[in-house]
Amino acid sequence: KDLPKNPSRLFGWVFPYYVVLFLVMGIYFVKHMNSASFNNVPAIYTDSLIVSADVEMKKGGIMPAIDLGIISNPNADLIGQGKTLFQTNCSSCHGTEGKGDGVAAAALTPKPRNFHETEGWTNGRTFTDLYNTLEKGVPNTGMIAYEFIPAKDRIAIIQYLRTFTDFPKVSDQEIAKLDENFSFSKGVATASNITLEMATKKIAEEANPKFELSNMIEKINQLNDKNIVELFNNYSLDKEKVFAVFNRDYLKSNNVDLFIDRLIASPSANGFKPSIVELPREQIIQLFNVLVKAVS
């Protein structure tokens, strides 16, 4: 009876319904927002099973013997050479004067070493400490290993940066220990590196020089069980690698459990697609038996 006289009271009854309606609409809107609404790009995930680190190719050789006298008594020419090498390899981070203020320093955490300071050194300030730092780098920093620089050049860099301030003196015992560890006076033979792919193929060739890929594939394709043929063809990423690795690692042992464990751990290393790990164990065993017959 009061509503005709006081229509505003009707708003009090309708208001909660509008609140609920707007709340539901808001939730629906938020739930259905896409990536464009958030102004971001959806993450793209890489299958880690098909990613593998590789080894950079490097030609080996003989590093010539070093006169140990350049460690205890460096001459001006050696220090000048060290300055040139420092400017080329180190100044971008450590600065031209070794104060840790190079152009790349702002982007590095922790900041590069200021060689004029005597406190807070991660590996220490002795000659041995400095050489080990160049040899191995400093983990979790921007300081990489410079083992690819000849030993004499590394010594030259150290002798130059030792001119910035007072460093611990180098004793005869320290020089003898350095020579024992790094064979400065004998010269060092450095091995060549090849990529993992090249190494895999080389091992396969040495293990079976008469390896005939076409014969292996033909044996499998001629099987009466077309399901297993289709299984092999669908899940093989690199058929040559499948046969080479199987021949090398599993044929003699005939160990199906070893095959399954390694296949699940690293399908691509065995020449298969990552999706093969989703197959039932029984089918993988069938595949193993077929490979035994094909490679034998």
Chain segment 11-35, per-residue pLDDT in tens: 666 677 777 888 888 888 777 776 5
Q: Which residue has the higher pLDDT, 19 or 79?
A: 79
Query: How many C-beta atoms surround the C-beta of residue 70 within 10 A?
Result: 17
pLDDT interval class at 209 (50, 70, 90): very low
Dihedral (Cα; 87, 91, 95, 98), 10-degree rounding:
-70
Q: What percent of the chain has pLDDT over 70?
A: 80
pLDDT interval class at 187 (50, 70, 90): confident
User: What's the CA angle centered on 170, arms 169 and 176, to 5 degrees?
Assistant: 165
- Beta bridge partner(s), residue 9: none
Largest Cα–Cα distance in the chain?
113
Q: What is the DSSP letter of 167?
A: -
CA separation for the pair 262, 256 (Å, rounded): 10
- Beta bridge partner(s), residue 62: 189
CA separation for the pair 209, 216 (Å, rounded): 14
CA separation for the pair 123, 126 (Å, rounded): 9
CA-wise closest residue to 264 among 253, 252, 278, 250: 278
Mean pLDDT score, 114-143: 93
pLDDT, position 46: 55
pLDDT, position 52: 55
